[in-house]
Amino acid sequence: MQQFAKIILKEFAEVLKPESFRRKGNRFFHEGPDAILWIEMQKSRDSTDDRFVFTINLGAFVPKLARTLGDMIREIDILNGHWNARLGCLLPFPGDRWWEVRSDEQASQTGMEVASLVKRYGLPALNQAGSITGLAVYFETGLGVRYAGSRRDELHAALKRLRGENGYHN
């Protein structure tokens, strides 16, 4: 199973390195001028020694928003990011998508396929979530804000204030 994950992550690296993402464990990070973006391969608890099941989580953390809220900028993960989504929710037929591999060849093929989906659907969503205006749109539509929880209204209000600073009107 561990071998399958390594093969898949290698395929991801091929696609994400030109986009300035760096790998740390099972995550790839991009630290841009306005946001920290990440892509994470999450292993399912249903994985076994000969069967690897995984999904892809995407996230964005906007330091300017954190400073506006008075939050400390700390280790970034899915629970303290400002935007999070599963790749499957961004596909043309959205859903909670999990992939399964049972051989090295299948891991390579699936890795290429999923990396292509990340490039086509995940990166544009991340780039949108990495801007104040784009993140505000996600808060208005609800896509990718499931972990905001009780802070959703506070985050949305701060985004509106920040949009006002940038010349946008609500």
Digit-coded pLDDT (tens) for 31-52:
998 999 999 999 999 999 999 9
Q: Give the model's pLDDT for residue 78.
A: 63
Cα–Cα nearest to 143, from 67, 97, 87: 87
Joined tokens for residue 4? 């399958």
Between 74 and 71, name the one with better pLDDT: 71
Residue 162 pLDDT > 90: no
Q: Give the model's pLDDT for residue 167.
A: 47
Q: Give the model's pLDDT for residue 24.
A: 93
pTM for the whole structure: 0.88
Residue 144 pLDDT > 90: no
Q: What is the mean pLDDT of residues 60-68?
A: 89
Range of lowest pLDDT (7-11, 32-36, 65-69, 127-131):
65-69
Residue 38 · residue 92 · CB < 8 Å: no
Residue 161: strand, helix, or coil: helix
The Cα 69–Cα 38 span in angstroms is: 21
The Cα 123–Cα 6 span in angstroms is: 21
